[in-house]
Structure 1
Amino acid sequence: MAAQKLSFGEKVNLVVGGVGIAFSVLVGAVTNAFPGRSKASTYKLRFNLYFMRTFSRFLTALQIQSITPGTEDNYKSTVQERSLQPNSVRFDDGTQGHWIGNSKAPVVLLFLHGGGYATYAQKGHFVLASDLVSAAESKGGSLGILLVEYDLAPNATYPHQLRQAIHAYKYCVERLNISTSNILLAGDSAGGHLALGLLSHMTHPQDGLPKITAGVGHPSTMLISPWVTFDLSSNSMKANRLKDCLSQPTLHTWSRNFLGQAPLDNYNFPLGAQRSWWSPMQDIDLFVIAGADEIFVDDIEQWVDNLKEAGLKPKYHRVEGEAHDEMIWSEGFGFGRPTSKSMFEDWVCSQVAKREK
């Protein structure tokens, strides 16, 4: 996706937003010096979480898109830094995908990135993908990861991104002739939300969207901090608001941008779906990770309970001391390797090993 162009008025507002961020950061540098039970454990972590909340609160999605590197830019810089071979492809609808690892590997992980449908895939997404491939190869496996460069809101609204994810999946099963049993699906945050929409479409094809005719069953799936509801009233939304990188006002704006004029339905509101909606997915091998300090955690756990009541057997892990989606940003901010990332690597390695026996 090309860099977002702003109107003159939007550029003026960007300057105003930048001033607001600068002032708030100065205030935050002082207020975050004081620890508390409702805050993150260290000053460095408190300040960085505060900065991320402030950045997304003061700037619109279009402004963020205009000043940050695009998905393709982050892909190219990551593969160059890691001496990898770039390999980008287009699906039948023109959507672009970017390969990390062996595109001809017997096992492919289709990766749907997060960012509230408002931000591009970060370098952290591609670094994670590269590390997953390296982990699989270190154990004698072969893995290709295909990250989907879907279009962002507010210029693209629901169900546009779901349509793009469907085309990406069809590319794997129809053009690459990979069986469902050899496809892994993963998504973080909004990417987890999109992955759930894709899984729902496999089971309950949505009118007006391409049908998935090839393959049987559901791919083994990893969801990291999935966005399962646009409601903001859970206890963790309030209790963890100073421990997380997301804020309620930002989520409210981003969800409205994403939905546009579309109503809520079972594809875009996983937490609201009846148990009977999930019952046909009892064959799925599903692993869900959430941070104990993230504002999504209560909603994620309620949704996991709904799946269990529907007869599914998801594996769920609540990682103590972690905020939202830490495996994407933690190392980039100098906090080291989060537990959740090691869990994802272990899951990928076990999935690849099972398929290569």
Structure 2
Amino acid sequence: MSIKVTKVTKAKLSLKEKLDFFPAVASIVIAYIYALLTGLRRTERQAKSLSLHLGYAVFRKATTRLTTTQMQYILPPSHKIYEQHSKKTGRLPESVELGDGALGHWVGDRNADNVLVWFHGGGFGLPANMGYFKFYAQLLRDLKASGKSVAVFSLTYTLAPIAVYPTQLRQAVNCLRYILSQPNRDPSTVFLGGDSAGGNLVGGVLSHLAHPHAEIDSLPLHSNLGGAVMIAPWTLLEKNFPGIEIYHGGDIITTAVAGPWSAAYIGAGKRDYYTDLSTAPADWFTTFPVNSVLITAGGNEIMLPLIQDFAAKFKEGFENVELFVGYRECHVAPIYHLELGNTTKTEQGKKVEAVLAELMV
């Protein structure tokens, strides 16, 4: 079923933001040139290849220099990227209106034995890029080679600050609710996945299943979900990270985005265990209705210490948790590398495939 989206709400640009585009683009070009001149000799704390090094530098500068609304203005919305991918692969787009402004997009056969529900990242303010749909296609191809029948259901949630928390969490819960409402779909054949802000939503949905959010309808399960994957989950929405040594040159983001992205998502609300799972006590995780959880991170990403701390606390309350770190990889490398046109499979990507192949029926 293909649906036509006639109107997409975007945050409005101020006059200042409109006038700022030219100097912003100029600064990004300068950052690219600087990275080109200095990137021929790289250390282990930087990208493995020059092309990746340049891609990291451009994204790092763009996300630091441009506001969330500026990025939304120039980037195609998630559902348009999905339609482009469907056209390139010769498949009819199959999208579903989930209510509350959310859309779900099928990649692969919706009647497959297993469904991987994916929540994309981007600080809650950026749409899914083509790298996501290449990542889904790669997963489906390789899992099929392992004898697994899988489909991906990708959520398009309302971006911040157009909507704020808990809207995106409610949309993620209702996305899972829709999948579980399909005929003969047992929770054990449903898997959650997400990266960065999407990893935050994975944690938020698992939290809601175990501890229903006061503003979101509960979703009782008769058995555990098959598993969950959290790639570089953003589970601590702090603005500053004192006492942590951070080197930005090997990643695609900087600490400068933490404040604006967090503020856009939270709005006038308050942070809690659903937004900041890193602050939850260990026993919060004990009743999560999922068989197994994989957390991955890049060895060069700025969030690595925070992810390591989060995984350790998670494991205190929930035994079946594994942390995997990809050597010399950036934040959400399995997806962003594909967006840059680098098809060499990342260590994190290999690990995600191996774990899913083991868990799926």
Query: What's the TM-score once normalised by structure 1's chain length?
Result: 0.91
Partner of 2:315: 308
C-alpha change, 1:311 and 1:114, in structure 2 (3 Å) is: closer
Q: C-alpha separation between the residues in 2 aligned to 1:54 and 1:251?
A: 14
**1:114 deviation in Å?**
0.8
Moved more, 265-274 or 91-100: 91-100
C-alpha change, 1:233 and 1:94, in structure 2 (3 Å) is: closer
1:331 alignment partner AA = L
Partner of 2:212: 205
Moved more, 78-87 or 115-124: 78-87
1:245 alignment partner AA = I
Identity %: 26
C-alpha change, 1:299 and 1:86, in structure 2 (3 Å) is: same
Q: C-alpha separation between the residues in 2 aligned to 1:145 and 1:38?
A: 33
Indicate which of 240, 247, 265 corresponds to 1:258.
265
Contact 1:218 1:281 in 2 (8 A): no
Q: C-alpha separation between the residues in 2 aligned to 1:65 and 1:241?
A: 24
Q: C-alpha separation between the residues in 1 aligned to 2:202 and 2:252?
A: 22
Are positions 1:297 and 2:300 aligned together? no
Are positions 1:244 and 2:251 aligned together? yes
Partner of 1:116: 123
Moved more, 337-346 or 163-172: 337-346
Q: C-alpha separation between the residues in 2 aligned to 1:223 and 1:141?
A: 20
Partner of 2:110: 103
Partner of 2:359: 351
Q: Per-residue displacement from partner, 1:56-99 (whole Å, max 9, x unpaired)?
A: 11111111111111111111111221222311111243421000
Contact 2:189 2:225 in 1 (8 A): no
Q: C-alpha separation between the residues in 2 aligned to 1:283 and 1:113?
A: 20
Are positions 1:340 and 2:348 aligned together? yes
Moved more, 308-317 or 70-79: 308-317
Partner of 2:128, secondary structure, is: coil
Partner of 1:317: 324
Moved more, 208-217 or 47-56: 208-217
Q: C-alpha separation between the residues in 2 aligned to 1:190 and 1:24?
A: 26
Q: C-alpha separation between the residues in 1 aligned to 2:49 and 2:243?
A: 23
**1:298 deviation in Å?**
0.9
**1:291 deviation in Å?**
0.9
Q: C-alpha separation between the residues in 2 aligned to 1:322 and 1:38?
A: 9
C-alpha change, 1:38 and 1:135, in structure 2 (3 Å) is: closer
Partner of 1:154: 161
C-alpha change, 1:166 and 1:180, in structure 2 (3 Å) is: same
Partner of 2:196: 189
1:265 alignment partner AA = D
Q: C-alpha separation between the residues in 1 aligned to 2:211 and 2:237?
A: 22
Are positions 1:77 and 2:84 aligned together? yes
Contact 2:121 2:198 in 1 (8 A): yes
Partner of 1:288, secondary structure, is: strand
1:272 alignment partner AA = T
2:166 alignment partner AA = P
**1:195 deviation in Å?**
0.7
Contact 1:244 1:323 in 2 (8 A): yes
Gaps in structure 2 of 5+ consecutive residues: 1-6
